Structures are given as C-alpha cells and as structure tokens.
Amino acid sequence: MEIPKQMKAFRFNHYGDIAENQRTAVPTVGPQDVLVYVRNSGLNPVDYKIQAGKLKTLFSFQLPLTMGNEFAGEVVQVGSQVQNFVVGDRVYGRPDNEHTGTLADYIAVPAQEIALLPDELDFQAASGVPLTGLTSYQALVELGHVQPGQKVFIQAGAGGIGTMAIQIAKALGAYVTTTASPEKTALVRSLGADQVINYHENYFADVLFHYDLVFDTLGGKYLRDSFKIVRPGGHVVTINGLPTYQFGQRHGFGLAKSLLFGAVSAPLRRLARKYRVHYDFLIMHPSGTQLQVLSQLIEAETLLPIIDRIYAFGETQAAYDYLESGHAQGKVIVNVNN
Ligand SMILES: NC(=O)c1ccc[n+]([C@@H]2O[C@H](COP(=O)([O-])OP(=O)(O)OC[C@H]3O[C@@H](n4cnc5c(N)ncnc54)[C@H](OP(=O)(O)O)[C@@H]3O)[C@@H](O)[C@H]2O)c1
C-alpha cells in the first residue's frame, strides 16, 4: 500500500473547541513504532474529557489533537528495530498519550503497545477491546489481585468498562455483583454476573457487605460508600476518583503534584483507614503484553466484546454525543476505513 503524505483526522484545535474532520500529516514512524492503517476506532469517555480540558492537570497534550484512544487496523510500515510485527498484520491497541489519535487514517504507535487480533474478531469488534479491556484487567489483576471465589462488585455493569470487567472477573473465578437498569439486566447476566442490582430501586451500599473488591467506575458518593461494603483487608479500586500521593510518585508526577494529589485524596484515604481497606486510583496504561492475555481470553470464548452502535466516520460527533449521554450498552465504534 502506498502511504500518502496527508490523511483525514477528527481533530480539535483548543480545549473546549468542537472537533471536526481536518487534513493533517500522516505520522512518521520511529525505530520502535509501527504505522497502522486504522480500520476502526472505539470511543471512550476519556476522549471527550480530554477535549473539554478536564484532564489538563494530569496530562499535557500537544494541540491540535486528533481524538480517539483505541483502534484496530493493519500494519503498513514497521520501524527499523521492530521484530515482532510485519506489514499486513491485523493489530489492535491503546496508544500512549504521545501517540494518541486513532480517529485518523493512520497512527504511529510503539510496537510494545499493540497485539495481534484474535482470528475470531473483525476490526469493528476488536477496536472496542483495548482501552476498556486493559483498564478492567489492570483494576482487577494488577491492583485488585482478584482470586478465585472472591466477591467482586463492579459499578455500572452495562457500560464499556462494565461489560469487559464482568467477563474478566468471571474468568478469574470471582463471584460478581453489578448494577444495571432493568432493561440491561439480561445483558449483564449473559456476561456472567451472578447478582444484579437494579440501581434505580436499590442503593448498592444498602444491600451489599463483606466484598473483597469494589471496582468503582462512577466516583463521588458511589466511591465514598464503596468502603462500607468491603471487608477489612479488601480493595477499593477506582477509575473515577482522586489520585493519591503514591499514584503521583508511581507515575512520575514530581513532588509538588504528588503532594497535591495526596491533599485532595485525604478524605478518601481517611475512609480507607477507617474501614481498613486498600484504596487505589487507576489511570490505565497501554500494554501489548496484557492485550495478548485478553486475546487469549477472546480466543477461548471467555471474553466477548459487546458493541452497542457503529457510526460512519462522518458521524463521529453524533457517536460522541450518544456516548456522552451516558447510556451506552457496551461500546460505541466508528468506521474510520471500513
Ligand atoms: N482512569 C482510567 O484509566 C479510566 C479508563 C476507562 C474509563 N474510565 C472512566 O470510567 C467511567 C466509565 O467508563 P465507560 O466506558 O464504562 O462509560 P460508559 O460506557 O459511557 O458507561 C455508560 C453506562 O453506565 C451506566 N450507568 C450510568 N450511571 C449508572 C449508575 N448510577 N449505576 C449503574 N450504572 C450506571 C449506564 O447504564 P444506564 O443507561 O442504565 O444508566 C450505561 O450503561 C468513565 O467516567 C470513564 O472516563 C477511566
């Protein structure tokens, strides 16, 4: 395939601006990168949070910025030091923040951040796996250390994260409880949820107790009340809470920012001490190796990506509007070149 110099990309110029289809340069490939012709991109709430400038304290992006944080496509060029991928490979991934921008014809991404697509998956289904799959894996395995037989509570089981997290927790052998609207109960049960709470009728913290892990996706009062339902020594892992001093140190934010994180999360850490529970804030990280584990679960038919809606590239803003309504059931996908 001949690689052009220019490509289409869904971009915004300043934080708070609307994004639109623009022409921009095809990215260049470093020695450890591959260039991928993007077939599909999954959408995630982090995309519109970045666009609105809500994550400026945590990450700096170079503007204008192409949106999109997960993709599936074909390798069209490999860097001089890349050994494990060749032109023509079907791959998927969640690029790091310096290589973000999956709503474009091409993306250059470090080879260590991608994996081969399982044979069973087409590009559309695969493009919705990396970000939510890796986040769930890191929450449940890296931070939560979930063991067979443990009781795991997952907030918002029908969303992009929830549909992945339920299946991964079941694959780890956990007993899984989740929350969902009545019309979404059948879906989360089909994914393996053992107990489903209709969150319009019951508040989770009033009916659950002695859990080994809460995976919080909602933050606010849902996060604060999570501590009440965890046994001493258990874990609360949030992807929508407040970072801690340790998080800042682990991720190289420097002393000043780490101290700030420590200050803002002090009330949560007090709750963690009161209930003798481990508290962790997770910002997911790209990992080709962990993506291979997810590929194995998909090949074993233990993990199935749930797709809600698929949009044409020209309808990307409508796709984001739907996702931002907060009622997606599984993943929202854009056909970039499909
Ligand atoms: N820190 C990280 O690394 C990281 C990574 C990924 C995601 N996140 C964050 O995690 C959050 C969830 O992401 P997502 O992709 O799952 O979002 P999503 O797909 O937009 O979630 C939508 C789902 O949430 C359900 N929901 C909303 N409020 C609920 C409630 N009170 N109780 C139960 N279910 C509820 C909705 O069901 P109904 O329609 O029935 O209300 C819907 O199915 C976002 O804020 C995202 O930014 C963080």
DSSP string, 279-294: EEE------HHHHHHH
In short, whether 178's Cβ falls inside 6 Å of ligand 1 is no
- Site to probe by mutation for ligand 1, drawn from 140, 207, 218, 325 as the one with most ligand atoms within 8 Å of Cβ, is 218
What's the 198 CA to ligand 1 centre distance in angstroms? 15
229-266 tens-digit pLDDT: 999 999 999 999 989 998 999 889 999 999 999 999 99
Model confidence band, residue 1 (pLDDT cutoffs 50, 70, 90): confident
The answer to whether 287 and 270 have CB atoms below 8 angstroms apart is no
Q: 176 — phi, psi (to 5°)? A: -115, 125
What's the 284 CA to ligand 1 centre distance in angstroms? 15
134 contacts: CB under 8 Å, gap ≥ 6: 94, 284, 285, 286, 287, 290, 291, 294
Percent of the chain with pLDDT over 70: 100
Model confidence band, residue 42 (pLDDT cutoffs 50, 70, 90): very high
Minimal-distance CA residue to ligand 1 atom 18: 159
**What is the structure's pLDDT at 266?**
95
**What is the structure's pLDDT at 109?**
98
The letter for the amino acid at 142 is E
In short, whether 184's Cβ falls inside 6 Å of ligand 1 is yes
Mean predicted lDDT score pLDDT of the chain: 97
How far apart are alpha carbons 103 and 22 in whole angstroms?
11
Residue 239 CA: nearest ligand 1 atom is 1
Residue 138 CA: nearest ligand 1 atom is 3
In short, whether 185's Cβ falls inside 6 Å of ligand 1 is no
Q: Which domains does the chain have, with CATH numbers?
A: 6-129+305-335 (3.90.180.10), 131-281 (3.40.50.720)
40: which strand partners?
Answer: 72, 335
Beta pairing, strands 71-78 & 33-42: antiparallel
In short, whether 323's Cβ falls inside 6 Å of ligand 1 is yes
Average pLDDT over residues 159-163: 98
What are the b/e assignments for 23-54, b being 16+ CB within 10 Å?
ebebbebbebbbbbbbbbbbbbbbbbebbeee
How far apart are alpha carbons 203 and 155 in whole angstroms?
11
The letter for the amino acid at 77 is Q
The H or E element containing residue 197 is strand 195-198
Q: Which two tokens stand for residue 37?
A: 């012709």
What's the 229 CA to ligand 1 centre distance in angstroms? 20
Burial class (CB in 10 A: 0-12, 13-18, 19+), 283: middle
How far apart are alpha carbons 155 and 228 in whole angstroms?
14
In short, whether 164's Cβ falls inside 6 Å of ligand 1 is no
The answer to whether 107 and 27 have CB atoms below 8 angstroms apart is yes
**What is the structure's pLDDT at 57?**
82
Model confidence band, residue 282 (pLDDT cutoffs 50, 70, 90): very high
How far apart are alpha carbons 182 and 171 in whole angstroms?
24
Rg of the chain over all Cα atoms, to the nearest angstrom: 20
98-130 tens-digit pLDDT: 999 999 999 999 999 999 999 989 999 999 999
Which whole-number Å values give the CA distances from 36 to 2, 9, 33, 287, 303, in the listed order? 13, 14, 10, 17, 25
In short, whether 238's Cβ falls inside 6 Å of ligand 1 is no
**What is the structure's pLDDT at 68?**
98
Place of tokens 């395995």: 141
pLDDT at 330 over 80: yes
What's the 14 CA to ligand 1 centre distance in angstroms? 26
How far apart are alpha carbons 331 and 310 in whole angstroms?
9
According to DSSP, residue 103 is labeled: S
pLDDT at 338 over 90: no
**What is the structure's pLDDT at 14?**
96
**What is the structure's pLDDT at 278?**
96
Q: Report the candidate in 317, 294, 312, 314 with the shortest Cα–Cα distance to residue 304.
A: 294
Helix ranges, 241-315 (H) = 245-250, 254-264, 266-275, 288-299
In short, whether 181's Cβ falls inside 6 Å of ligand 1 is yes
**What is the structure's pLDDT at 115?**
98
What's the 251 CA to ligand 1 centre distance in angstroms? 24
According to DSSP, residue 62 is labeled: P
162-198 tens-digit pLDDT: 999 999 999 999 999 999 999 999 999 999 999 999 9
Minimal-distance CA residue to ligand 1 atom 22: 159
Burial class (CB in 10 A: 0-12, 13-18, 19+), 183: exposed
How far apart are alpha carbons 234 and 318 in whole angstroms?
41
In short, whether 157's Cβ falls inside 6 Å of ligand 1 is no
Q: Which two tokens stand for residue 279?
A: 């508290």
**What is the structure's pLDDT at 56?**
87
Minimal-distance CA residue to ligand 1 atom 21: 159
Q: 149 — phi, psi (to 5°)? A: 85, -10
